Each structure stands twice: as structure tokens, then as C-alpha cells.
A and B are shown apart, each in its own frame.
Chain A
Amino acid sequence: MKAILRNKWSYLAFGALLILLAIVPFTPRLDDYTMLMTFIAINTMVTVGLCLLMGYTGQVSLGQTAFYGIGAYVSAILSKTYGVNPWLAMLIAAAATGVFAYVIGFPIFRLRGNYLAMATLGLVLVVYVLFRELGEYTGGPDGMAGIPYLSIGGLAFKSRLAKYFLVWFFCLAILLVSQNIIRSRTGRALRAIHGSEPAAESVGIDLSRYKIKIFVLSAVYASIAGSLFVHTLRSVNPQPFGFMASVMIVTMAVVGGLASIWGALFGTAVVRILSNEVLLRFGGLDIIIYGVILMIVMILVPQGLFVGLRDTYERWRLKRTRKGAVT
């Protein structure tokens, strides 16, 4: 029963999202937000990976921005400095990031909990320092500009609208793939690991294999997001890949709710809209209000806004059907 309900929910969510995506760029006044929506899609690709890793598998990672950054810089350097086709650059970046995550996954997943958080955070800082200091390749603190657009058959994704659809195409693909993974054998194994590692191991689930698998997947998501980021913005610098950026990504996922990939999308949108649109009106106070909102959300709805809403609705439904059965 519950599974069917969830199924219906995700079709509904998907449909609503598609309609919204089609409406926004063509409605006057709403079309101002096309660029914001594009960035929401880019961030969502990163938070969905984090959601699979933290919400479903229970492995804390503060390291997603490292992969996001590697994707961005590999794409930028290959396509600008070496003239590689941007699509190929993006593919190489994703593959390289995947291999990198695989290689460091073995030692890192010998750690758990706070140590895992620490190690992944260390990863972000090391990668950030490299972006900043390897100026010969990365352009140092100023970064690089003039990175080529992605294009199909001579048509470049140059206009705001083209970039919007390009990025959302990838974002939706990632959401769909993730949705399917959750419902597959792998998804059940991941949840079992979250529930209890010894119990999962005792029924024959290979812990480190699944953890590394999902770690690599989330890294590839982040890398694709990074590549899209540089090819739409055409410039890159170390700023969006540092410690605070990493904390922001975790915040987005947690605010939406880690227990659902739709929560990742929802949380990313809420945080992005808050920090880019609403709070700017308060001038220098924006960061203070942001901190307060973050605390209030976590105090009132610790499971996250989206998951909180969903649970409340389901409880309400259950109550109503029970009442119906009695009378």
C-alpha cells in the first residue's frame, strides 16, 4: 500500500515539476528567474548524490564540493587550454572523478561517522588549496574565463533558455536514475546498511562494495554538475568549491530532507531562492536571517521540510481512512 502511495507521489512530483519547468521561462515576470532555476538544477545534482549517500546509506560526506570542483576544473582546463570538445571534456571529467572517488573510497570507508565526516572535509580543503595554488593550470585565485559553451551540431548552448533546458535535462535524468536506484535491489541494500551495518552484513550485503558504489555515483553526479556549471557560466574560480560551499550543500540537502531525493530538490530550491532572492532585500542582515531560518527549520522540522510535509500528509490520510473504517 505504502509503496503504491510513494509511486503515485513520485509521478505526481515529476509531473508537477515538468509543468513548472515548462511554464517558468515563458511567463512574463517569472522568466526573470530562469537563471536562478538553472543554478537550482546544478546544485540539485550535487545534493541528490549527497541524499543517496547520507539519507539512504547513512554515510556522512562533507566532500561533495571536491568532486563538484574536480568536474568543473577538469572540464574547464581540457576544453579551454587543450581545445578538447566540451562534451568529451565533460565525459572525461566524470570518468576521472569516478575513478578518483573509487580509489579514495577504499581507505575512506574504513572510517565511519565523525571520522568519515572529517576525512571527506579534509578532501574538500586539500582540493580547494590545489585549485588555488596550481595557478599554472587553474589560473589561481582569479580562476579562468572564456571557457567554451557546449554545442550540438554547430548550435551552441549560449542563450539563457538553451542553458536552462540543457541543465534541467541532466538534472531530471539524474533524478530519474536515482529514483530507480532507490527502488532496486541496490536501494534496498543501501537502506539496510543505514538501518544496521552488522545486520546488513549478516544477510550477505557487501558493505564496502555498496558504500563505494554509491560514493562513486554521487561523485559522478557532482562532477557532471561541475562541468555544466563551467560550460554555462564560462568562467571558474576556487570560491564555489571551498569549505563554506561544502557546508551549504549539506544544508540544502538537510533542509529539504535527507530521506527523499525530492527533498534534495526542494531543499536546494528553498535555500537558493532564500539566499539569492528573498534575503538580498535585507541588505547586510541577510546572513543573520539565513542563520535564524536554518535553526528554526531544523528545530521545528528536523527531518526536513519536504519529508516533514510528506509525513504529515500520510499521517493525516491514515487517520482519515481509519476513521472511515470505524464508522
Chain B
Amino acid sequence: METGQFLQYLVSGLTMGSIYALVGLGFTIIFTVTGIINFAQGEFVMLGGMLSYILFTSFGLPSGLAILLSVVAAALVGIMLYLLGIRTARKASAVSLVVITIGASIFIRGVAGQIWTRDPVRPPYFSGSESLSFAGAYIQPQVLWIMGTALVAMIVLHVFFSYTMLGKALKACAISRAAAGLVGIDARAMALIAFALAAALGAIAGSVMAPHTTVSYESGVMLGLKGFVAAAIGGFKSHTLAFFGGLLVGLIESLTVAANWGPFQSEYADAVALIALLIILLIRSRRLSTEERAS
């Protein structure tokens, strides 16, 4: 394979990987603060993409404002999910809470399916569609936007959780909710913030991604799944690892398509990526179980 062609696959892998990373970061935010795996995370991404498209084309808002509004709207949906679904279920076990988020994702997807058509839509590119040429590979400017957003999100989250008071308070809830309560941290308020933050991040991912990949009301399912995998690589706890986990999923997928040999064919891309991840999980399993016992 030529270098240019290989680079092309690499770029496309990193692009999809960055999207998965953004979704995975959303999973990680909610899990670290509340211990809940939010199956509706993919729907936030879908909402971000769809809403920014609708606001831009039907309401004629400038693209930046459309994205901002769609992010705010998704954050509100996230807050509603927490207030109506999670907070009201006081006695629910972890599994029941997960089923509540599954119910919420079915609901959001159902409503979206009623309002919008099945056909994928594509909002305009942020900065034109003229490809940049680099060592024989063509790079769309939108791709740089996607990668940049993921990278910035990862760094900002890392700094936020490690160095700011609010971030540390959120992290404290993850370590021990009871102890956090003792030092005056309102765990419920923190959970609310986590849901809003994750939903907003999901919507950002959706609106940055949509011009490149298109979006439909059904997009949330697959994205949620891949993001879940990315977050799982990071143990649902580490933002940095979730980021690299996302990139890894994207790269494995894309390189499988590139190889197109034996079991590594494009039709099997999903399966190859998952098997690779299962192997990673199993190799890490000893460390994972000791970590869990320690915590």
C-alpha cells in the first residue's frame, strides 16, 4: 500500500476515533460522579447533530449560534433525565438505574423519530470543504475540527477534574459519596452538573461530527456503543484513557478496512475492533480486579 493511501486510512481512523473518544468522555463524566452507566449518551450526540442542523436550515440561525443553542438544549435534556429519571428513583439498584437510562434513550430516539425523517442530514462544514493535501493524503478541514475538539475536551476535562475546586468536588463524589457529604459537598448537585456536562459534551460531539459523517435520529445507537467501548478501556474512570481508547477503536476499525485480507475485511471491522478490545480487557483483567478490590 502506498504511504498516501495508508495515511488516508490513518486519518479516517483517527477522525472516527476522536468522535468515539468524545462519546466515551461523556460516559466517563457521569460514571465517575454517579456510578451510573448512561445508555442515553449516544442520544445526546444525536440531539446535538440534529438540532444544530434544524436550527441552521429551518430557523436560519448562524451556524455558531445554532450549535450553541443545541448544546444548551441537550444539556437541558440531560438535566431533565437526571431530575425526572435518576433522582426520583431513590431505592433503585445500579441495574435498575441503567434500565432507566435505556428507557430514556428509547424515549428520546422515539420522539426524534416522530419529528424527523429517517434520512441522514448534513449541516454545512465549519470552514469550507476544500481538502488540504498532506503527503499524498487528503484531509478535510472538518476532520481537524473533530480531532481538535476531542483533544481540547480531553485536556480541559483533565485540568477541570484535577485542578479546579468544582472538578475536585465532583471527583470526591466518585471516591466516596458519604465522605464527600461530610465535607459539605452536595452529591446531588454534583450529579446534576455531571449529567448536564456529559449531555453538553455529547451535543458538542454531535454538532462537530455531523458535517463530516451526517446524522439521523438513529445515529445514537452505534455511537453510544463505540463510546461505551472507549470508556470501558479507560475503566469508566480515566478521561485520558477513554480518549486514547476512542482513538484505538477508530484506528482498529479503519486499519481493518485498509488491510482487507482474510478475517480483516471491512464487513468485519466492528467485530475485529471488539475482539481486539476483549483481548485488551482480558490482559488488563488482573489489574482491573485488584483496582476494584482496592476501591
Interface residues of A (CB under 8 A from B): 54, 60, 107, 110-115, 117-119, 121-123, 125-126, 129-130, 132-133, 243-244, 247, 250-251, 254-255, 258, 284-285, 287-288, 290-295, 298-299, 302-303
Interface pair B92/A285, CB less than 8 Å apart: no
Interface residues of B (CB under 8 A from A): 37, 39, 84-85, 88-89, 91-93, 95-97, 99-100, 102-111, 113-114, 221, 225, 228-229, 232, 235-236, 267-268, 270-271, 274-275, 277-278, 281-282, 285-286, 288-289, 292
Closest beta carbon of chain A to B194's beta carbon, Å: 17
Per the bound structure, the CA–CA distance linking A276 and B109 in Å amounts to 19
Interface pair A110/B282, CB less than 8 Å apart: yes
Per the bound structure, the CA–CA distance linking A37 and B9 in Å amounts to 50
Given contacts A110-B282, A254-B96, A294-B99, is CB(A115)–CB(B288) below 8 Å? yes
Interface pair B91/A292, CB less than 8 Å apart: no
Q: Which residues of B contact A118 (CB under 8 A)?
A: 228-229, 232, 277, 281
Interface pair B89/A129, CB less than 8 Å apart: no
Which A residue's beta carbon lies closest to that of B224? A243
Among B39, B106, B270, B271, the one with the most A-chain Cβ atoms within 10 Å of its Cβ is: B106
Given contacts A122-B275, A294-B106, A295-B85, is CB(A287)–CB(B113) below 8 Å? yes
Can you list 14 contacts pairing A with B, beta carbon distance less than 8 Å? A111-B285, A114-B236, A117-B37, A118-B229, A125-B225, A133-B268, A250-B99, A254-B99, A285-B114, A291-B103, A291-B109, A298-B97, A302-B92, A302-B93
Given contacts A115-B285, A122-B275, A288-B114, is CB(A299)–CB(B85) below 8 Å? yes
Q: Which residues of B contact A287 (CB under 8 A)?
A: 106, 109-110, 113
Closest beta carbon of chain B to A166's beta carbon, Å: 32
Residue from A110, A243, A255, A292 in contact with B285 in the complex, judged by beta carbons closer than 8 Å: A110
Residue from A113, A130, A288 in contact with B292 in the complex, judged by beta carbons closer than 8 Å: A113
Closest beta carbon of chain A to B55's beta carbon, Å: 23
Interface pair A284/B114, CB less than 8 Å apart: yes
Given contacts A110-B286, A287-B109, is CB(A129)–CB(B267) below 8 Å? yes
Per the bound structure, the CA–CA distance linking A77 and B102 in Å amounts to 34
Closest beta carbon of chain B to A246's beta carbon, Å: 11
Q: Which residues of A contact B91 (CB under 8 A)?
A: 302
What's the dominant secondary structure at chain B's contact region? helix
Closest beta carbon of chain B to A160's beta carbon, Å: 31
Among A130, A243, A284, A294, the one with the most B-chain Cβ atoms within 10 Å of its Cβ is: A294
Q: Which residues of A contact B88 (CB under 8 A)?
A: 299
Q: Which residues of A contact B102 (CB under 8 A)?
A: 247, 251, 294
Per the bound structure, the CA–CA distance linking A132 and B109 in Å amounts to 25
Interface pair A114/B106, CB less than 8 Å apart: no
Interface pair B107/A288, CB less than 8 Å apart: yes
Interface pair B271/A130, CB less than 8 Å apart: yes
Q: Which residues of A contact B99 (CB under 8 A)?
A: 250-251, 254-255, 294, 298
Given contacts A302-B89, A302-B93, is CB(A119)–CB(B292) below 8 Å? no
Per the bound structure, the CA–CA distance linking A294 and B99 in Å amounts to 8
Interface pair B285/A299, CB less than 8 Å apart: no
Closest beta carbon of chain B to A128's beta carbon, Å: 8
Additional A-B contact list (20), CB under 8 Å, known A114-B232, A295-B85? A111-B288, A118-B281, A119-B281, A125-B225, A125-B271, A132-B267, A258-B95, A287-B106, A287-B113, A290-B106, A291-B103, A291-B107, A291-B108, A292-B107, A294-B100, A294-B106, A299-B88, A299-B89, A302-B93, A302-B96
Interface pair B85/A288, CB less than 8 Å apart: no
Q: Which residues of B contact A60 (CB under 8 A)?
A: 95
Interface pair A288/B281, CB less than 8 Å apart: no
Closest beta carbon of chain B to A85's beta carbon, Å: 32
Interface pair A299/B282, CB less than 8 Å apart: no
Per the bound structure, the CA–CA distance linking A244 and B210 in Å amounts to 23
Closest beta carbon of chain B to A142's beta carbon, Å: 15
Interface pair B89/A285, CB less than 8 Å apart: no
Among B39, B271, B286, the one with the most A-chain Cβ atoms within 10 Å of its Cβ is: B271
Closest beta carbon of chain A to B267's beta carbon, Å: 5
Per the bound structure, the CA–CA distance linking A299 and B84 in Å amounts to 9
Closest beta carbon of chain A to B158's beta carbon, Å: 21
Q: Which residues of B contact A299 (CB under 8 A)?
A: 85, 88-89, 92, 100
Per the bound structure, the CA–CA distance linking A126 and B229 in Å amounts to 13
Given contacts A129-B268, A243-B225, is CB(A119)–CB(B85) below 8 Å? no
Q: Which residues of B contact A302 (CB under 8 A)?
A: 89, 91-93, 96
Among A54, A122, A243, the one with the most B-chain Cβ atoms within 10 Å of its Cβ is: A122
Which A residue's beta carbon lies closest to that of B111? A288
Interface pair A291/B275, CB less than 8 Å apart: no
Q: Which residues of A contact B107 (CB under 8 A)?
A: 288, 291-292, 295
Given contacts A115-B285, A243-B225, A250-B99, is CB(A122)–CB(B277) below 8 Å? yes
Q: Which residues of B contact A303 (CB under 8 A)?
A: 93, 96
Per the bound structure, the CA–CA distance linking A130 and B113 in Å amounts to 29
Q: Which residues of A contact B232 (CB under 8 A)?
A: 114-115, 118
Per the bound structure, the CA–CA distance linking A288 and B43 in Å amounts to 14
Q: Which residues of A contact B37 (CB under 8 A)?
A: 114, 117
